Amino acid sequence: MRSIKYGVGLAVREHLASGQPITRLEAIMLFGVSNLTHIISSLRKEGWMIESESVPYARAVVRLNKQIVFHPPENLPIREILLTEYRLKK
């Protein structure tokens, strides 16, 4: 698939290969990826062993703020909202 070999798909691939987890929020904010599940599915078809886990939105916010300034709305319950986090299986 072209988007995996080049561009944003490659950015997600390199991010995961470096040992970093990724959520849809991070994919959108860091790489402009709107359909992370499609990229993850394609990587799995290529043989990548990727595991997923539900994590609090707050965890992604903390990671994002190490690279960019991101402030979710103050009334958003970031500890209760769950996101799917993807990472390479060890």
- pLDDT classification of 5: cutoffs 50, 70, 90: low
Render pLDDT for 22-77 as a digit per residue (tens, 0 to 9). Answer: 999 999 999 999 899 999 999 999 999 999 999 999 999 999 999 999 999 999 99
Which of 88, 10, 23, 4 has its CA nearest to residue 49? 88
Rounded to the nearest 5°, which phi and psi values hold at 76? -80, 125
Look up the pTM and report it: 0.88
